[in-house]
């Protein structure tokens, strides 16, 4: 971890750039995959499953029997933890529901906005280096609450053609029964274009490796939406002298173990805290099964010494972290100062991993600085906002002349005529009714 002391503000943007991603190189690999799946459908998916995952699949869809049998393979403590997480995530996302908005903007002119669920959504659940069953909860629960009619789930299988039982059990808990044994960029292509087995969806959700990320960005240029542009996982920690270096080290490693392209950042007013955290990282790293992955990610990571907490807030707003932990004496102060972050964790006893699994907030969040403009997944992500308007004859009498003036100024005569013809009809009807 590279330590930088009191960097000038005009250097922050450069210093907080993420490690360069070789998108052009990845695109050259991903584009032919997308093209082949679009053209050849299921046969292309089987080809890529054999090529990349080493598995020869007869059926791409997971059978209902396999889904049902998964429950017996999951131990009770895991089931209990999943149920608690399910309840918390459901409770927080259900509370995000809003009533229809209806406003009379002027007499006789009424405007309405309704939230309508996206009919068919696709969930990509990573399962390569680890089975991320928590992502089934995070992407599936809000889809269920929103009322999406059809939920498609794609996730990689092992070399025996099996999906991890925890994935299937969690999907069953959420109520997802259309599950396909397909991973990687080919799964994104299948959901974007549709194949003989996998329906085309209207929006794709879920994180993934760099190939999945690039595939999502490429298909979003056609007729499918995506949740957000995302990249490797990341966490930033803001700490003062009240912080516990062992806690910070564990939080940083919890993201570093995600993948070699992950990044962690520590910002502190205390040089002592940074030095002790570095030592704690070395000690804890030895105990991690994924220590080689974490060690390589730490090569991309940074620690900043800043003169005060306010400077720390400013530096972290420039970084715009996916996850931001505030390990300070007065963590609630950050609510007023942090404007760019995917999800914020306040206080010494609020680890990022709680949000990853079970506190209730969503863990599918913008990375790579996109938190400056994007939000994480919420109930709204699965909704469309449709507006309606209703105008009475009296309302059109009052509003219409202004619309005519504006349409004429833009030289759009058909727009003006659509109002003028109605005005004439209203006047005609008024004359008839008065005689």
What pLDDT does residue 129 have? 61
Beta carbons within 10 angstroms of residue 223's beta carbon: 10
Assessment of whether the complete model's pTM goes beyond 0.75? yes
Distance in angstroms (rounded) separating the CA atoms of residues 363 and 352: 9
- The DSSP-derived string for 1-47 is -EEEES--GGGHHHHTPPPPP-HHHHHHHHHHHHHHHHHHTHHHHHH
- Residue 153 tokens read as 């789930």
Can you tell me whether residue 206 is helix, strand or coil?
coil
Can you tell me whether residue 131 is helix, strand or coil?
coil
Residues 22-42 have a mean pLDDT of: 94
**Annotated active-site residue in 164, 258, 323, 363:** 323
Beta-sheet pairing, 302-305 with 178-180: unpaired
- Above 80 in pLDDT, residue 10? yes
Distance in angstroms (rounded) separating the CA atoms of residues 134 and 233: 15
Predicted confidence (pLDDT) per residue in 60-100, tens digit? 999 999 999 999 999 999 999 999 999 999 999 999 999 99
What pLDDT does residue 232 have? 83
- Above 70 in pLDDT, residue 168? yes
What pLDDT does residue 258 have? 87
- Contact at 8 Å (CB) between 283 and 252? no
Beta-sheet pairing, 109-117 with 101-106: antiparallel
Residues 154-177 have a mean pLDDT of: 94
| ∠ Cα 337 339 341 (to 5°) | 120
**Annotated active-site residue in 62, 322, 352, 363:** 322
**Order of all β-strands in the sheet with 341-346:** 2-5, 302-305, 263-268, 234-239, 321-327, 341-346
Contacts of 135 (CB under 8 A, 6+ apart): 123, 125, 126, 206, 207, 363, 364
Q: Does the annotation count 363 as an active-site position?
A: no
55: left (phi over 0), alpha (psi -120 to 50) or beta: beta
What pLDDT does residue 60 have? 95
- Contact at 8 Å (CB) between 93 and 379? yes
Q: Does the annotation count 322 as an active-site position?
A: yes
Place of tokens 């990022």: 352
pLDDT band, very low/low/confident/very high, at 322 (cuts 50, 70, 90)? very high
Distance in angstroms (rounded) separating the CA atoms of residues 348 and 243: 7
Distance in angstroms (rounded) separating the CA atoms of residues 349 and 67: 37
Give the chain's mean pLDDT: 94
């Amino acid at each position: 971890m590279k330590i930088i002391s009191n960097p000038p503000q005009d250097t922050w943007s450069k210093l907080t750039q993420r490690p360069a991603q070789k998108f052009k190189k990845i695109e050259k690999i991903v584009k032919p995959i997308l093209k082949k799946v679009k053209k050849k459908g299921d046969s292309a998916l089987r080809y890529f499953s054999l090529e990349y995952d080493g598995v020869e699949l007869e059926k791409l869809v997971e059978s209902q029997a396999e889904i049902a049998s998964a429950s017996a393979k999951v131990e009770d403590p895991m089931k209990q933890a999943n149920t608690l997480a399910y309840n918390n995530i459901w409770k927080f996302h259900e509370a995000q529901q809003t009533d229809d908005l209806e406003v009379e903007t002027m007499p006789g002119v009424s405007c309405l906005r309704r939230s309508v669920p996206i009919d068919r959504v696709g969930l990509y659940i990573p399962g390569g280096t680890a089975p991320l069953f928590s992502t089934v909860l995070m992407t599936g629960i809000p889809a269920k609450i929103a009322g999406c009619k059809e939920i498609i789930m794609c996730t990689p299988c092992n070399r025996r053609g099996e999906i991890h039982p925890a994935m299937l059990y969690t999907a069953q808990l959420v109520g997802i029964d259309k599950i396909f044994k397909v991973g990687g960029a080919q799964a994104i292509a299948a959901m974007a274009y549709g194949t003989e087995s996998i329906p085309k969806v209207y929006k794709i959700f879920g994180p993934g490796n760099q190939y999945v990320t690039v595939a999502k960005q490429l298909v979003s240029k056609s007729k499918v939406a995506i949740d957000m542009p995302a990249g490797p996982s990341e966490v930033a920690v803001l700490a003062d002298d009240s912080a516990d270096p062992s806690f910070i080290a564990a939080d940083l490693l919890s993201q570093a173990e995600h993948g070699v392209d992950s990044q962690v950042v520590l910002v502190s007013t205390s040089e002592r805290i940074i030095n002790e955290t570095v030592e704690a990282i070395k000690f804890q790293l030895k105990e991690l099964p994924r220590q080689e992955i974490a060690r390589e990610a730490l090569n991309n990571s940074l620690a900043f010494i800043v003169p005060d907490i306010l400077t720390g807030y400013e530096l972290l707003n420039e970084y715009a972290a996916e996850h931001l932990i505030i390990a300070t004496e007065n963590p609630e102060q950050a609510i007023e100062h942090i404007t760019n972050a995917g999800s914020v964790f306040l206080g010494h006893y609020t680890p990022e991993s709680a949000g990853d699994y079970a506190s209730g907030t969503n863990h599918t969040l913008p990375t790579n600085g996109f938190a400056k403009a994007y939000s994480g997944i919420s109930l709204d992500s699965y909704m469309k906002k449709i507006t309606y308007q209703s105008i009475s004859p009296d309302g059109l009498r009052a509003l219409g002349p202004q619309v005519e003036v504006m349409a004429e100024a833009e030289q759009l005569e058909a727009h003006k005529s659509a109002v003028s013809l109605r005005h004439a009809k209203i006047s005609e009807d008024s004359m008839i009714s008065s005689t």
